[in-house]
Structure 1
């Protein structure tokens, strides 16, 4: 199984599974910005490698100040971490919820963090007939059973933003709400939808941001969390010392000022996303409309294709796709792919078309 360790982007497992060097894969299983990393990242690696003999700033002053300025937030409301993964785990350890409400499907690390802290899960289903948009009626029905709601905004793997009715209802419910905005940078009207500023002054609202997806630096591990200063202080007490390394701090401080890169990314996605959605639909696939840089789609039942069939075939052709049936709430027809540059997307579509034609023609048998 390509997702042996629970995520996409595992080129080492792909190399073992499909018998080709990891450098030869087109990776559609992880959702990185194909325009990145920004050029300034290369400059930092070239100029700052000698400085790794020094300890990093233990409280990440420079990056924290730049994030505060960028989003107009009190620096005391920001904590930088070793990727969003560390911050997901950290906020759950601080809040210690007895029960956590999760939309299904959603990112598996929410559940993992809750189980590690000894808490239970309350599932809130997302339905295909609603385009996987969370419904307030489904949330409201579970309010009495939940201490904490942990929700993607936008959600992974569906790419859907939370409706304002859901957010406002939860803010009024006296439950703690944690929003994972790991992909919010890709949303066209980011400032209108993000809850960062509100979280900085609201005791029961917390927002987590990743810096690895938009700036395409997942190997560095970098993210930040915004919450009321009292909650940030409690998180600081549990965070591992020197969690954010020197190069991550330098790169983070540089990329948040890359306004041209940000504009170029949104301009690229504005063109490429609708084009790719239309091309996938022309293949007969059922595509979920997305606000971000990845797409969830399913093979129609008439095709009698499973995502594992597709993943196996395409992996042998050097293209990695995400088996979305591993997200609770989705069946074995669902696949998630990143949106990449046009030439790569054309290659993806060519191989996908070949697979579908060969599979349906040969009655479920493909020749990789």
Structure 2
């Protein structure tokens, strides 16, 4: 059972006795601009296609993705979100011992645990703003066959430059590198940092459409790798794993390059403004990053659960990061939303951190 993720607006709406639409969800790292214009109408027109089975292996969508990145169709597989792949990879690749570069997304470790795969962590240090030392990462590769790297990383927001990561993979051809690029589209000119089209036989790249296009409820993701790895994954992937609406959405979204640029520039601007307004607030330390979310450490008496509860009472959800291995109950993550919603969150944070009032239980 998946626990400890953001985006639990339905449970919180029941607790607060309100509609989910009345909650500002800053706990889930989806696009602050919502869905691209035209997607809803496009999907509405596609409803008539639900009377037929979807394409068994998302053939058209897979072909379009391959063409976009100038790779072969046998280097791509389409999935029911990247989570499907994360839980297939340990058994499909026969992973024996994995290294997870953290602090990071818990599902990499959870997927290994499901299949009794031994795993260890390389943890970037707080004093270095959680930026991983690549030389130290390479030293940690001894004895492992697979490496999980989220780039940019969740929840720290740090980006390892594409060329640096490419060199690490090339220098260790006997290791498999699983690189989760779900948040790379939020980075301005992020396409220059991808490993999708770098022809690296020991690299698996994950790409989520849920985050950048604001469609987590549709579940759509891609995996790119060498034909040999794709073949191994295919043996464990179920047919019709992607529903027809998600397939149609993917075809539409592959043409939304301008929307991706708009989200990247909006995110960069709002991130700068968000941090500027909080720079004089005591008890809150931000960490540098490049994504649509920001990691903070609480340095006063309040813990993450306290602040999350207080904000929830104001119908604002943020992420308690205490269940990220390598972090403590003093860390929170806030995903940027519209400017108005960001300003409301800032004011509520100011109130909570300045008063230090007792936390009211929900």
157-166 or 86-95, larger mean C-alpha shift: 157-166
Normalised by the size of structure 2, how large is the TM-score? 0.94
State the partner residue of 1:332.
329
SS in 2 for 1:39: coil
Q: In the alignment, which of 200, 203, 206 is matched to residue 204 of structure 2?
A: 206
TM-aligned CA deviation for residue 366 of structure 1: 6.1
- SS, match of residue 96 in structure 1: coil
Is the 1:79–1:226 Cα contact (8 Å) retained in structure 2?
yes
Aligned to 2:35: 37
Aligned-partner Cα distance in 2 for 1:208–1:153: 10
Give the CA deviation at 1:298. 1.0
CA contact (8 A) 2:293 2:336 kept: yes
Query: Counterpart of 1:151 in 2: which secondary structure?
Result: strand
- Is the contact between residue 99 and residue 146 of structure 1 (CA under 8 Å) also seen in structure 2? yes
Give 3-state SS (helix, strand or coil) of 1:80's partner. Answer: strand
Stretches of structure 2 lacking an aligned partner (at least 5 in a row): none
Q: 5 Å matches for 1:82-161?
A: 82-161=80-159
Task: Give the Cα–Cα distance (whole angstroms) in 1 for the partners of residues 123 and 23 of structure 2.
Answer: 34
Greater Cα shift, 63-72 or 338-347: 63-72
Measured after TM superposition, the shift of residue 166 of structure 1 is: 5.1
DSSP-derived class of the 2:279 partner: helix
* Distance change >3 Å, CA 365–CA 313, structure 1 → 2: closer
Distance 1:349 1:4, change over 3 A: farther
Q: Distance in 1 between matches of 2:261 and 2:28?
A: 22
Greater helix content: 1
Provide the residue aligned with 1:259 in structure 2.
Answer: 257
Indicate the residue corresponding to 1:194 in structure 2. Answer: 194
Give TM-score, length-normalised by structure 1: 0.93
Question: Contact 1:171/1:177 (CA < 8 Å) preserved in 2?
Answer: no
CA deviations on 1:80-131 (whole Å, 9 max, x unpaired) are 1000100111222211211110122110111111111220111111111111
* 3-state secondary structure, aligned to 2:38: helix
Superposed displacement of residue 282, structure 1 = 2.5
| Structure 2: distance between partners of 1:189 and 1:37 | 20
Deviation, 1:289, is 1.1
Unaligned runs of 5+ residues in structure 1 are none
2:24 is the alignment partner of 1:21: no
Matched-pair contact (CA < 8 Å) for 1:11–1:22: yes
Aligned residues: 359
Q: Cα distance, 1:330 vs. partner?
A: 0.7
Per-residue CA distance 1:31-80 (angstroms, 9 max, x = gap):
11021211222112321112101000112122112211221211110101
* Aligned position for 2:298: 299
Q: Deviations over 1:236-272 (max 9, x none)?
A: 1210110011000001000110233222212212311
